[in-house]
Structure 1
Amino acid sequence: MDSHDPVLTTEPRPGVLLITLNRPHVRNAVDRTLALAMDAALTRLETDSSLNVGILTGAGGHFCSGMDLKAFPAEGVPVVADRGLAGLTRARLRKPLIAAVEGAAVAGGFELALACDLVTAADTAFFALPEVARGLIAAEGGAIRLPGRLPYHVAMEMLLTASPLSAPDAARHGLVNQLTPVGQALQAALALADRVQAHSRDAIRITKQIVQDTRGLDDHTAYAVQDPLSTPVFATTAASEGARAFIEKRRPAWHA
């Protein structure tokens, strides 16, 4: 990698923003510069009305090796404001984000993937949270999210022993949506993004918000949170169009 290459690239596709971590010489480890660049890319995704879905991937055959430990003594943990590691792990994005994982997704890199809504992964990829082996804590979502995504004892083995989890095993436990041959995770993510954005933008956005706002609540409380968000959707032109399209046996024209 040339020293003048950007640490992150963005590529708009139809309705999709492809975000690529671009520090392959360190397996795309996150330093302060990369964190700020990624935060800016996520802000673009959220504010650009032509974009419906984001895809996060890494250059050079790896997803992300987490925080750049060489930069850590001088820079600290590369969090951005209240949005967490690289502006993602504590953010509340309105639009879906898909992780396309090749190679290593470890430490903070795995936490970035856990902060995404969908995950595609090559069958040679692997995930790990080795923080305890470095005297650290998986404090950007690893310890919080992983026990809810994997069987409890599998998650605790990863957290307490720093053991890696292969992508095929992750898929078997439901942590990966689509498993692909090596080099094909991004193509699978692009296809998944097209499937997502084939549907109503507002319905997708509100569905994600409901999931975020009701996680961990009992049913009674969850309905009280959900209903003010969901009820107005049933009166939208998109809802009427969806019904008409079903009756007329055609694809909905959501954005006509």
Structure 2
Amino acid sequence: MSEEVLLAERDGVLEVTINRPEQRNAMTKAAAEAIGAAMDLLDSAAHLRCAILTGVGGGFCSGMDLKGFLKGELPVDPRGGFGGLCTWTPNKPVIAAVDGFALAGGFELALACDLIVASEGARFGIPEVKRGLVAGGGGVVHLPRLLPRPLAMELALTGEPIDARRALELGLVNRVTQGPAIEAARALARTIAANGPLAVAASKGIVRDSWLWPVEEFSARQAPYIARVFASEDAREGAQAFAEKRAPRWQGR
């Protein structure tokens, strides 16, 4: 694992931290590949239930390392794209804990996560046009799906950022905190980790993949996701725990 990305485990949650504070956590190829590897670890380790992606030094990620770009390096992972996550997602949930700036690819990286927790001073934006570039990590694709088209167009064409409160109003952010985002992200992660892991993964999969499903195919399309869940030991355990008025003991099978 690259020193540009730090890993820690806490109560079944994998914390993945971009560690380039002097470069405002700008993304490099090494960091992108390390994040991609961390996502593989998340999916492969049964005791891990979800992940938090954050940055050190009071900032999330300022986007692509332009010095690396000028040298011909692209900060992408072969499967996950920018930051190891923008073109692929693990089965388990990923929460972005954003302090300070999530700009350019950093904003796209946050949008690639399943939930976003931001501190009061966080800023979000895709300023690529100010550098003669395009937000090619998913920003100009995802934002029109998440926002009214004129708002998405304004962000894309002006390159101007929005603050955390505005992002919350627009539904881009789940929580805004007075202090560092990591504590609120950990609380959210604990809530997720307490639930049935198979059910969580299936629910994430359906929410993610159903975006373009025809309405008449909803039932048929989601059936493969939930069949394993309803036939699992966890499903029986959940019902038994409810009947016995105790916390469930999930096995992930």
Superposition TM-score, scaled by structure 1 size: 0.93
- CA shift at 1:86, angstroms? 2.0
Partner of 1:161: 158
**One-letter code aligned to 1:194:** R
Which amino acid in 2 is paired with 1:171?
A: L
* Alpha-carbon distance, 1:152 to partner: 2.4
CA contact (8 A) 1:79 1:86 kept: yes
Residue type at the aligned position of 2:118: A
1:8-157 matched pairs, under 5 angstroms = 8-157=5-154
TM-aligned CA deviation for residue 251 of structure 1: 2.1
1:237 alignment partner, one of 224, 233, 236: 233
1:19/1:54 contact within 8 Å kept = yes
Separation in 1 of the partners of 2:217 and 2:135?
Answer: 30
Query: Which residue identity lines up with residue 225 of structure 2 in the other structure?
Result: L
- Counterpart of 1:239, as a letter, is A
| Structure 2 residue 194 is the aligned partner of structure 1 residue 202 | no
Deviation, structure 1 residue 106: 0.2
Counterpart amino acid of 1:203?
A: A
In structure 1, how many angstroms separate the alpha carbons of the residues matched to 2:8 and 2:129?
Answer: 36
Structure 1 Cα separation of the partners of residues 67 and 251 of structure 2: 47
C-alpha separation between the residues in 2 aligned to 1:54 and 1:228?
Answer: 25
Residues 238 and 248, structure 2, Cα contact 8 Å, conserved in 1: yes
Pick the aligned partner of 2:249 from 238, 249, 253: 253
Question: Which 10-residue stretch deviates more, 68-77 or 12-21?
Answer: 68-77
Task: Report if the CA contact (8 A) 1:83-1:89 is conserved.
Answer: yes
Q: CA offsets, 1:17-50, max 9 Å, x none?
A: 1111011111100112222222222222121221
Q: CA 1:179–1:249 in structure 2 vs 1: closer, same or farther (change >3 Å)?
A: same
> Identity over the aligned pairs, expressed in percent?
46
Q: Look up the match of 2:219.
A: 223
How many equivalent residue pairs? 251
Q: Deviations over 1:48-101 (max 9, x none)?
A: 221111100000000000100111022332111132112110013101000000
Residue 252 of structure 1 deviates from its aligned partner by 1.8
- The answer (yes or no) to whether the contact 1:213–1:225 under 8 Å persists in 2 is no
Gaps of 5+ in 1: none
Three-state SS of the structure 1 residue aligned to 2:74 is coil
Farther off after superposition, 89-98 or 218-227: 218-227
Alpha-carbon distance in structure 2 between the residues aligned to 1:203 and 1:41: 22
Which secondary structure does the structure 1 equivalent of 2:82 belong to? coil
Q: TM-score, normalised by structure 2?
A: 0.94
Separation of aligned partners in 2, 1:58 and 1:35? 13
* Contact kept in structure 2, 1:167 and 1:176, CA below 8 Å: yes
Aligned partners of 1:124 and 1:182 also within 8 Å: no
1:11, 1:187 → 2: CA distance? 14
Aligned-partner residue type, residue 189 of structure 1: A
Q: Deviations over 1:130-173 (max 9, x none)?
A: 11111111111101111222232222110111111100110111
